[in-house]
Amino acid sequence: MDAQSVLRVDWDNIDIDLPSGESVLLQQPVPATPWDHYRSLRFYLLVDNAELGDLGANPEIEIELLDPAGGGVRAILPLSALSEDSWNEITLDLLRKRLEVNGNTVAPLAIDRGSRSERLSLLRLQIRDVKKGTLYIDEVHWAEAQSSIEGTVSASLEYRMPGTLIERGGFAILGNVVLNEDITVQSAGYGLESERVSGVGLFQSRSGVAADVVGTRLETDLELFTDQERWSGAGGHRLQVPARPGPVSFTDRYRRSYDSFAPSMARGNSLRLRRAGVGSILLESEAILVSERLDQVWGVADNTSDELESWIFDGSLRLRNRTSSYELPDTDYFSSWVDAYELLLPRTDRETARRSGDVRRRFGYRPDPLGFDAVLEGGYENSSVFDGRQRTTLLLRAGPAFSFETAQRTRYSISPRYGRTAAGSYPAPNNRDFADDFSVYGDSLGEIPYFYSSIPFYELIQDRDSFEFAEATEGLPFARYRPELGIQFERSFGSRLRDLYVPSNAALTVDRELLRRDDSLTDTRGFNLRLESVALNLFGSLGAYPLTQRYESDELSNRAEYSLRHREPDSTTLQRIRLENTTRFFASGDRTLSLDSLLQFEIEEYFRREVAGRARYEWRIYPDSLFGIRRLDPLVERGAFIRNTERITLSERRNEQRPERDLLTVVFGHESKLEIPDRGAVRVYLDLGVGREPFNVEDGDVVNQTILGVQGGIEAVIEY
């Protein structure tokens, strides 16, 4: 239930039962996709601890897949069709107009395309007549792309006018002008399995102008988008004073949308103060408004790393606020630009605000042979208007750094690191502004005695029963403490045989995580090891150990990672192994052969494996003429050449617990690219892919299907 992509709505622990006939709503955005581009939408669904409504009620889930215009797909899923206490694979088959659960048809699909050809972009689930329970969805994805043919044409133009263009009395009025235009036109897709048009044609344009105007730098752009049914636009500007960064520089940013489905506006300002040899201070504020939701950020940061050679004094403070019910004003561009300064003012509405903040301070010294680095971070997120709580975090990490160089000019560096992180959720029922947040944060720092009193290093092996964490966090809905000890080793590499097997980069980390969620307390210990080696120019004809004349030089790199995590009290162990290799051979005539491989294992209660390999061969041809056309001979004289590439990619994925996720694919590709120096290029490519994936899984029996895909195209870039 703790998979990273799982979305959950839980009404199992509230104080009241859901009345009969009422519903719980869960919404999940999906990648916006035109109708008929895919045959089905799939996801995994689990209803846990369900307590049904009154006698005679009809527990069900209404599933909707919608577009912005209100059209879409709808179906009613009876709760009785789901397997209890296990994940169910849900398929919305748009082609056959049916709803499937674990491969079995349970209900028809009602399809309403609406009056406009929009893109399907929102999945909604409403569960009715269930008093209490928890609803999970996972891995929402499109599946089984339908065959179609469509065309896309893109053009890009950039024109530069450097230097001063208009000058009065020795003062530059206008200069360094840049004009650019990007246009994309896409035709509707025509399905190979039907005569219907798949989706709609698209047109998108972006125009931009940038110039130095009276000592300032002004950049503007305007975007237009249409899909035959509606149009929308967006535009904005960036103003920097002065045009070139100096001791004091100010930046103003503004952007807004026009007639878009989700109205948006963004406003930002920053002021940077810089002194050579000392450092800089940055003051910034930003506000982003999207569909009546306003996100505000205020920050200050100081930086000395770029100015001081040995010492590091860096830090930052950022405050964030999120509120809703703010409407985008329907005014002209200039008026809305001025009015948008209001967005930068704090709006801590008691009914809607969610605030957060973080502070970071870094202190270090980095000369040879001995230096050190220390980081202290703190942060919070207040959600008192929703659940009356505030989450607090605190991090401390420090360690020395050793570096030296041997007589053989091999450079080494060793960096031990130790750190600890604490986080917890604390009561904050009446917070109305940032001052209240800071007060709760200060009080919560006194609620984590284990962060200050735990013995460094020993806490990684200390007996759980003697640890102060359990007693100090009793009664909290969430708390976490994570100490970590690590060391990183680096050395320079080159063309020696030992560079193949002696790591040039290695890292070892040991950590422990104590986690409380309500009455549940877990203790997880972790071990991570990473090894990397790189060797250059070994075995070719120009290498340090020449073994062959077939190529001139080479580059070989290897990477291995191993991680182990063991969790108590349920004695769960997770192991991951990842092996990577990259080998490149460089021959005369600008020929290159690249071989990449990946092997990854994951072992927990079941076995997962991922294998990938790629071979790529590239060579150049310098022709005497281009296609026998004499008028193109000046391009040959300019140095035109053809770059050819052949590639093959193999990937395989296997999952013992979920065989429906298994996949095997092979992709063959060819590319020819005519490159003309300072004039542009023409690229032609073709890819053919074949694969195998499960089509249906019932009672452990897997029915596989073969998938075939072809794509190709031609691209041209013209420079002048």
For residue range 42-86, what is the model confidence (pLDDT) as tens digits?
888 888 777 765 444 568 888 988 887 677 888 888 888 887 767
The stretch 494-511 carries a mean pLDDT of: 93
Indicate the pairing of strand 231-241 with strand 216-226: antiparallel
Measured in residues, the chain has a length of: 720
State yes or no: pLDDT of 115 exceeds 90.
no
pLDDT at residue 119 above 50?
A: yes
Q: Which of 603, 515, 531 is nearest to 565 (CA)?
A: 603
* pLDDT > 90 in the chain, percent: 32
Residue 458 makes CB contacts below 8 A (sequence gap 6+) with: none
Give 69 or 473, the one with higher predicted confidence: 473
Count of domains forming the chain = 2
**Which helix (H) or strand (E) element contains residue 442?**
helix 434-445
Which of these, 706, 668, 707, lies nearest to 686 by C-alpha position?
668
Does residue 267 lie in a domain region? no
What is the model's pLDDT at position 616? 93
Please check whether residue 602 lies inside any domain of the structure.
yes
Decide if 554 contacts 539 (C-beta within 8 A). yes
From 146, 180, 202, the end of a domain falls on: 146
At residue 191, the pLDDT reads 47
> Using one digit for the tens of pLDDT, what is the confidence trace for 295-337?
899 999 998 876 677 888 899 999 998 887 677 777 788 888 8
111-120, 278-287, 303-312: range with highest mean pLDDT: 278-287
Note the pTM of the prediction, 2 decimals: 0.71
Q: Which of 226, 441, 411 is nearest to 319 (CA)?
A: 441
| 680, part of any domain | yes
Does 294 fall in a domain? no
Q: Of 679 and 490, which is predicted with more confidence?
A: 490
357-380 average pLDDT score: 88
pLDDT for position 208: 93
Q: Which of 218-232, 242-256, 435-449, 578-592 has the weakest average pLDDT?
A: 218-232
* pLDDT band per the 50, 70, 90 thresholds, residue 249: very high
Output the pLDDT for position 220.
Answer: 94
Task: Find how far residue 423's CA is from the centre of its chain.
Answer: 24
Two tokens, residue 652: 């395989």
- Has residue 201 been placed in a domain? no
Give the CATH number, domain containing residue 22. Answer: 2.60.120
Check if the beta carbon of residue 448 is closer than 8 Å to that of residue 394. Answer: yes
Give the C-alpha distances (Å, rounded to integers) separating 687 from 14, 380, 458, 613. 54, 49, 56, 16
Evaluate whether residue 438 is within a structural domain. Answer: no
pLDDT of residue 4: 35
* Cα–Cα distance, 95 to 98 (Å, whole number): 8
For residue 246, count CB atoms less than 10 angstroms from its CB and return exposed for 0-12, middle for 13-18, buried for 19 or more.
exposed
- Among the candidates 146, 175, 197, a domain finishes at 146
Task: Pick the last residue of a domain from 116, 146, 176.
Answer: 146
CA distance 370 to 363: 15
The three-class DSSP label of residue 499 is: helix
- Summarize the confidence of residues 673-692 as an average pLDDT: 87
Inside any domain, residue 106: yes
Structure tokens at 243: 């045009």
Closest CA to 709 of 150, 31, 197, 147: 147
Q: Are 60 and 128 within 8 A, CB to CB?
A: yes
pLDDT of residue 66: 85
DSSP-derived 3-state class of residue 287: strand
What are the tens digits of pLDDT across the range 417-450?
A: 999 999 999 988 877 788 888 999 999 999 999 9
23: containing domain: 7-146
Average pLDDT, the chain: 83
How confident is residue 230, by pLDDT bands cut at 50, 70 and 90? Answer: low
Would you say 172 and 212 are in contact if contact means Cβ atoms under 8 Å apart?
yes
pLDDT at 3: 34
pLDDT for 148 equals 56
Residue 365: pLDDT over 90: no
| The pLDDT value given to residue 114 | 60
Q: Specify if 636 maps to a domain.
A: yes
* pLDDT (0 to 100) of residue 238: 94
